[in-house]
Structure 1
Amino acid sequence: ESVPEHRLVLTASDGGRPALTGTVQLVISVLDANDNAPQFNQSVYKVQLPEDAAEGTLVARVAATDPDEGINQEFSYSIVSSVPASQRDAFNIDPRTGEIRLAGLLDFEDVRQHELQIEARDKGILPLSGHCSVILEVLD
């Protein structure tokens, strides 16, 4: 991540009198390994929504970064768990943007707080992932 390429000049000399030399430039390209997991800019996102919020309402937008390169840097977001589990279908997440939206209705008398576990998983050969929580307080 810090130095993707090294350039060296190699000079060889034959030891004769006069010495004859030859030079060559070596270019060493460092290939990226998937050695960094996506990292969220917050470990916990806290939001509040009224119980009469309409389907499609933006709940939160989570954001992660990955300092790797190429497919090792590309990742997608998903909801991996929800508390209560029965309400998981009430939310969906855009895998590219991290926007979480209501896909159902909220009911303060039924569930006052939702907690979603969000994952950002990179597309490396051996994928790495980062996690955060979204805590949604339902307002009466």
Structure 2
Amino acid sequence: MTKIIMAASPLQMNWREERRLAMDRASADAQLMWEGMAIQPLRPIPEYCNLVESVGLKVVSTKDLTEEWGPILKERLAMYQLLREEARTAGTPMGHDAFHESYIRFVDLIQERKMGGVRMVATK
């Protein structure tokens, strides 16, 4: 039996909607996430399960990782902001502004539980 694990780390995580974003912010947030971090449209967990199963895999388990990753992402944002300030002080490039702006909003959405993360294990 082959096990396939999706979203093993925060960099590989499948981000998903905790609940639908407010309509007036949703398109702006989606655009910001795409421009800054190339995050594709998000789906609720059941839709991810359907996608995985539609390609012939069987979902064995899902785990909501939002609670665990929220503090890590917040700490990582603080680190990015410190590095950007150090770069600005040194007169060097501060990094990609679109990434920074999207990451700030991304962390907010995770903290507000409007977005979250899921780890899925599936078998072939």
Q: TM-score, normalised by structure 1?
A: 0.22
Q: TM-score, normalised by structure 2?
A: 0.24
Q: Is the radius of gyration larger for structure 1 or structure 2?
A: 1
The answer to which structure, 1 or 2, has the higher relative contact order (CA under 8 A, 6+ apart) is 2
Greater per-residue helix proportion: 2
Greater per-residue strand proportion: 1
